[in-house]
Structure 1
Amino acid sequence: MEENKKKPIGFNIIKKEDPMKGHGGYGAGVLSLDNISPVIIDVEAGVAEVDVGAMHARSAVEKGIKFLQNRDEVPNGKPYWLVWVTIDRAEEGPYYAGVTACEMTVDREIRRGYKSLPEHVNRMDKSLKRHIIVDHMDEKAKLILASFLQNHNKGMWDLASEKLKQDLSV
């Protein structure tokens, strides 16, 4: 006998400019991901790039990798950082409002990696809430991220908070 179970109502993720314009009923208070971007930092290669696949844990780095919760099970993992960058607009113009970083390692040879999915989700949430959490990054990763943000849009870097600039200085 089949049970008729209703799906629980969670939250909707709508990706458009103003998802609830003039509407306060069902779905009000949705989470908009329009202004957040995932940046992947390859520490060894010294590069950072936006990879929208990371929004669903499907970045080029993550594809084909089984992630484990124990860092010790991936002793030869190559270091990466997933950085959630949220953009906001002030009177002067757009700026980097929320920037949070999460560590992960990947060993392509054994197709295994380490990351904490709850940390990645929580840091994305913190970035959306305009927090800056980058002070735990290693110095090389900080330099790569600071350079990437400055070169991506100097105006947004100039308008960013002093905390972001200070936390990324080495």
Structure 2
Amino acid sequence: MKEKKHFIILSNDSTDGDGGYGIGTLDLNNVTPIIIDCENEHVFIDLEALHGRSKIEKKVRFSPNLSHASDDYYRYWIVWVALQTAQNGPYYAGCTASEVRVSKEERRIKLGYKSLPEQVNYLDKALKGKFLLDHLDSNSKKLLYQFLSGFNEEYWKHSPEDLKRQLSIREDL
């Protein structure tokens, strides 16, 4: 009989203890989901996005088909931001974004688009220190830049140039 593999999320160090339970688990303590509301030009942290229950995902029936959200939709980005600490202090170590669309049609349960495999892969890439933001529109990049640099100047200052380049930010301007 094949042993079942379990995916467990723990908030403490998975290598503590006897080395049995919890080895090989994923620690999401250093990742933060940020929502970009493109229509209202608003950026906010929503920790419920880690469980697929963010403010923008509630009362929405999602499909991986773009047309499911109709032609008239609200556009959002769920941005996964991973933090790490180096000798000179904390910094944004990884940052990726996946698109979410929600139909503007008034109904009790709205229709929407999101790709769950894309979100999971992007979360994984952020945790591994990758920056994938080139696919964001210019206004969303500007909003994300303002949020990240304004949230904590030190985090921004210590962050890799790749993040600043992908958000089209040059320090010499």
Q: TM-score, normalised by structure 1?
A: 0.91
Partner of 1:103: 99
Partner of 2:136: 137
Partner of 1:50: 45
Paired AA for residue 149 in structure 2: Q
Partner of 1:76: 72
Instruction: Number of aligned residue pairs: give it.
Output: 165
CA distance in structure 2 between the aligned counterparts of 1:129 and 1:73, rounded to whole angstroms: 31
Task: Give 2:35's match in structure 1, choosing from 34, 37, 40.
Answer: 40
Partner of 1:157: 156
CA distance in structure 2 between the aligned counterparts of 1:15 and 1:112, rounded to whole angstroms: 33
Contact 2:76 2:100 in 1 (8 A): yes
Offset, 1:22: 4.6
What whole-Å deviation, never above 9, does each CA across 1:67-99 have from its counterpart, x for those lacking one? 112112321111100000000000000000010
Contact 2:60 2:102 in 1 (8 A): yes
What whole-Å deviation, never above 9, does each CA across 1:11-60 have from its counterpart, x for those lacking one? 211013x2322542332121100000100000111111110010011000
Contact 1:11 1:27 in 2 (8 A): no
Contact 1:35 1:88 in 2 (8 A): yes
What whole-Å deviation, never above 9, does each CA across 1:105-161 have from its counterpart, x for those lacking one? 112524011111100011001111111000110001000001000011110001111
Partner of 2:25: 30
Contact 2:14 2:22 in 1 (8 A): no
CA distance in structure 2 between the aligned counterparts of 1:26 and 1:77, rounded to whole angstroms: 44
Runs (5+) with no aligned partner, structure 2: none
Partner of 1:122: 121
CA distance in structure 2 between the aligned counterparts of 1:19 and 1:69, rounded to whole angstroms: 33
Instruction: Classify the secondary structure of the residue corresponding to 2:102.
Output: strand
Moved over 3 A (4+): none
Instruction: Classify the secondary structure of the residue corresponding to 2:29.
Output: coil
Percent of paired sites with the same residue? 43
Instruction: Classify the secondary structure of the residue corresponding to 2:165.
Output: helix
Paired AA for residue 135 in structure 1: D
Q: TM-score, normalised by structure 2?
A: 0.89
Instruction: Classify the secondary structure of the residue corresponding to 1:135.
Output: coil
CA distance in structure 1 between the aligned counterparts of 2:60 and 2:147, rounded to whole angstroms: 26
CA distance in structure 2 between the aligned counterparts of 1:7 and 1:64, rounded to whole angstroms: 36
Runs (5+) with no aligned partner, structure 1: none
Instruction: Classify the secondary structure of the residue corresponding to 1:79.
Output: strand
Contact 1:40 1:48 in 2 (8 A): yes
